[in-house]
Structure formats: structure tokens, C-alpha cells
Amino acid sequence: MKIFSAAQVREADAYTIEHLPITSLQLMEKAAIQCTQWLETRYSQGYSFHIFCGAGNNGGDGLAITRLLRQLGYEATAYLLQYTDQFSTDNRANQAALHSQETAAIITLQPGDKFPALPEHAILVDAIFGTGMSRPLLGFLAETVQQLNALKDRYTIVSIDLPSGMLADESTKDLLSVQAHHTLSFEVYKLAFLLPENASRTGEVHILPIGLHKDYITQTPTRYELADTALIQSIYKPRQPFSHKGTYGHVLLIAGSYGKLGAAVLSAQACLHAGVGLLTVYVPEAGYNIIQLAAPAAMCLVDDNPQQSVQFHEAVTADGAGKYKTIAIGPGLGTSGDTARAFKKLLQRYRSPMVIDADALNILAAEKQLLDLVPPHSLLTPHPKEFERLFGPSANDVERLEKLAAAARERQLYILLKGRYTAIAGPDGAVYFNATGNAGMATGGSGDVLTGILAGILAQGYAPKDAMVLGAWLHGLAGDLGAAASSQEALLASDMVQYIGKAYQEIAGYATLQHPSKNL
């Protein structure tokens, strides 16, 4: 699903009006019908609706919603904020339509007016600004938004299109905006909804279709995209009936140190469940029995050092060629000087894309010139702190995304920035967001599972970008299935491993299941 900027949303609006037999007022009506239906299904009897309207088309939506709710028999009042007398044409038309239906349905709010008294079961609808928001809220507008926010613990606040004050595709971190419980937005996600800094302002986001022209949506390139089931199914390749373990690649996983061998176990198990053909796990001596018992399907190579691996570069021939389709390095590895030196030698020898995570990222961050040695098209999987250590601090989430895209482009890498909506950037500068996953996955070992999954998928022959997008989705879906079976609180990284199979099943769909019983 593409993520359009505010300017592109306006273009989509104009394109639709030009190419379909629909006027802008009719499009507004469609948007208002969708919002009204959503409100009605959710709140029905006993509630009254209080709709705060601006002077533009977002306010026009609010006025139309008020009219439609009243037609359905609900108590609904529009509060028209008098900060300007420059109303948009469709806003005026909806003022007139509501006024002709019921003169008392519109109350104007002037600077200095008392904030309206609200009954017990009131729903507050914020239709002050949407995608036209262009500058900080000041004076009367700021006061009104502050008054709305002060009521957020007593009443439900529903924002139309965007919480007023929030910019669709720039940071609003330090600016005032409505803090909504729900945001009803039209047709497409906005970048703002995917930013951690906006989590307490958008509440739950609901995307409502309003019939924007499909041609504009399919033909317009965007910088950002939210992965969806259609994209995942287009990436996923079912296994071939005439294949063998060599078909699905051999991964060398370099992970674990004394006290952190669990990281190696989780990565190894995830890599195996992700479908790799062969897996060799490289651990310090202390890890030998652990790996052989916890991951019997994997082979094990052992470092001479009992506690931390320091010679793993020797597992790869001096010219880098050899049996490993890909290498994953980092989970629980440790960052001692000897380990860092071995990592440098490995980077000098092995020139195919690697998956680099955790302590391997910390080694890169401590010795930044090593970044120049990372094989092109490698997959880096930092969390925000690791990202900051590698590529520097960012003033806000939008700046961090720009840094992410720039680093991926300049260094020809695939970088996966972990978060609620994990962001994946590649050398072409495009950014994909992943929507699967839940807060239960914020737990130790979750990242190790992701590393294993990514390596396992990459080794099977997926292109790096596809491996990243599919791997992030699979990891999140396994976490969602695991949490559904128990709870987010109880979810462990090992549960994510156990649910990789079910997650694949969901992606493949039953139609593609290769099993003779399907014809019985």
C-alpha cells in the first residue's frame, strides 16, 4: 500500500474529480458517509456527537458528518471555529446544507467564548484541520486544541483524516496537535501514522475508502510504502517439488558467547524454520553441546577460544569463495578486540551479502571505517539506538527515516530499522514499512529470531529487498500468532520460532499447499 504525501493526496483528489463523474462536494459527501457509518457502528445509542470544525475542507467533512448523524436521529452539533472568514467553497456548501436542515445545529465559537459544556456520553470529533495544515496552531486555535486534549481522559476524541495540528509527512514532534483516540483517515496511510513520535496523538488509525481514482493510486510513484498481503504474496515463492537441500542455500551463523549462547540458539532455530537448506553455527567452545542439543538439524563449528569466537574468519576460505550462500553475524557475539579483528578479516574475505546484527553492528559503530568493508547489498538490522550509534542522532522520526534512506543509498546496503512499523530501506532509496508484529515482541531474543529468519530466507535465493520485506513480515506474523495463542506479555522469542511455520502457512494460503491429500 503506497503512502502518499499531503500534496499527492490533493493531486489524487483533483485527478479523481477530473476523470470520474464526481464533484469535490460529492467526494466530501462520500468521506462524510464513511465517517458517519464508522461512528454509528461504534457508538450507536445514548451518545451525542460534538464536531469541532475548521474553515477548510476538513471542517467541511465535519459539517457533513453532523448533518448525516442528525439525519440518522443522533444528537449532533457542529462548533464552527471563527478564526477566519475565509471558508472553502465546499465548507460553505455544507454550512448551508446543515443550516437548511436545522438552524440550531451550528454553533459558532469565537475567541474568548466559553468552551461548550458537554453531556456525559459525548463523542468529540476533531474536524479542524486535515491535510491542509501548513503551520503551527496559534492563539484561539491552540487554546481550542488544548481544551480538547484536556478532556481526553473523560471523552473519546475522533479525528477526521489527521489529528488537527499534525502534518501528514513532516515531524510535528514539538508542535501542538489534537491527541485522538481514533483517527479516521481517507483511502491511504499517511507517513505521520507510522512514526513512533505520533503514537499518543493518532490513537488507533482506521483507513476508510472514499473512491479516489485507482489509476492515480497505481501509477504514482511514492517514496514510502506499507507492506501488505498482496506485496507479501507476490514475493513469496513456494518450494519446488523437485528440489534438495542444496537448492535452499547454506548459512554460516556466527553467534553466541559465554552467557549469551541463547542468542545463537534462537537465531539457529529461526534460520532452520525459515527454510534454509543447510545451517552451520559457529560458536565458542562453550557452545558446542548447547547448539548440538538445541538445534540438532544444524552443524556446528567450534572456535578454539572457550568463551568468545575470535577465529571465525578462518571458516571462510581466503578468497571468500566456498560453500556458504550467506553469513549471518552478531547475535550474542560479544565485542572484544579479538572478535572485532576477526570480523574485520571476515569482511575482507567474504564479499557476498551478509546479515549483520547486534554485536556485529556495535563493532561497526565503534570502528566506523569497517562500514566501508561491508559487502554491498548486505542486510543490517539495527534498533533505533544501534542506528544512532552507526549513523548519528536525529532530531525527530522523519529525519531518522531520511538518514536511513540516505545511508542505504550511499552505502548500497539494505537497512532494517526496528520498531512498531519496522522501516526497510535499500540502495534505491525507497522505504518499506512492516505492519505485522505487536508489543509482546519487545522482549529479549526477538531480534535474534529476526536475524535467523533473514539469513534463512536470503540463502534460499530471495533478492535482498524481498528477503527483508518478507522476513520482517514473517517475524511479525509469527509474533502475532504466538501472542494470539497466549498473550503479548507471555510471548517469548522461542514462541516466535514455533510460529514461523504457521505464519508461512498463512502467507502461502491453502490454495498453494503442495500435498497429495488435497486431491483426495
Ligand X SMILES: NC(=O)C1=CN([C@@H]2O[C@H](COP(=O)(O)OP(=O)(O)OC[C@H]3O[C@@H](n4cnc5c(N)ncnc54)[C@H](OP(=O)(O)O)[C@@H]3O)[C@@H](O)[C@H]2O)[C@H](O)CC1
Choose between 180 and 232: whose C-beta lies nearer to K ion: 180
SS3 of 406, please? helix
Part of the chain binding K ion (CB under 5 A), chosen from 101-109, 154-162, 268-276, 429-437: 154-162
Which does residue 126 touch among K ion, ligand X, none (CB within 5 to 8 A, set by kind)?
Answer: K ion
φ, ψ of residue 71 to 5 degrees: the values are -60, -30
Grid cell of 73 as nine digits? 436521529
The response to whether 58 counts as a known ligand-binding position is yes
Cα 383 to Cα 355, 376, 415, 454, 507, distances in angstroms:
14, 20, 10, 15, 26
Q: What angle do CA 352, 453, 409 make, to 5 degrees?
A: 50
Find the shortest distance in angstroms from Cβ 450 to ligand X: 36
CB 130 within 8 Å of CB 56: yes
Neighbours of 502 (CB within 10 A): 16
Find the shortest distance in angstroms from Cβ 15 to ligand X: 10
Choose between 106 and 431: whose C-beta lies nearer to K ion: 106
- x/- binding map, residues 97-136, to K ion, per CB under 5 A? -----------------------------x----------
Nearest to 496 by CA among 461, 471, 513: 471
Give the long-range contacts of residues 385-391, CB within 8 A, separation 24 or more. Answer: 386/358, 386/361, 386/362, 387/415, 387/417, 389/361, 389/362, 389/365, 390/361, 390/364, 390/365
Residue in 77, 125, 161, 503 binding ligand X, rule: CB under 6 A: 161
The distance from CA 306 to its chain's CA centroid, rounded to whole angstroms, is 40
Burial (Cβ within 10 Å: 0-12, 13-18, ≥19) of residue 204: exposed
Part of the chain binding K ion (CB under 5 A), chosen from 162-170, 382-390, 462-470, 479-487: 162-170
- Residue 177 makes contact with K ion by CB under 5 A: no
Burial (Cβ within 10 Å: 0-12, 13-18, ≥19) of residue 131: buried
Part of the chain binding ligand X (CB under 6 A), chosen from 33-41, 135-143, 215-223, 383-391: 135-143
- x/- binding map, residues 339-378, to ligand X, per CB under 6 A? ----------------------------------------
Choose between 131 and 436: whose C-beta lies nearer to ligand X: 131
Residue in 63, 93, 109, 137 binding ligand X, rule: CB under 6 A: 137
The response to whether 330 counts as a known ligand-binding position is no
CB 39 within 8 Å of CB 158: yes
- x/- binding map, residues 18-57, to ligand X, per CB under 6 A? ---------xx--x----------------------x-xx
Find the shortest distance in angstroms from Cβ 52 to ligand X: 12
Nearest to 49 by CA among 68, 74, 72: 74
Nearest to 212 by CA among 430, 435, 26: 26
Instruction: Give contact residues for K ion (rule: CB under 5 A).
Output: 126, 159-160, 164
Instruction: Give contact residues for ligand X (rule: CB under 6 A).
Output: 9, 13, 27-28, 31, 54, 56-61, 88, 129-137, 141, 160-161, 186, 210, 212
Annotated binding residues for (6S)-NADPHX, written as ranges, equal: 57-61, 130-136, 161, 263, 332, 383, 448
Annotated binding residues for K(+), written as ranges, equal: 58, 126, 164
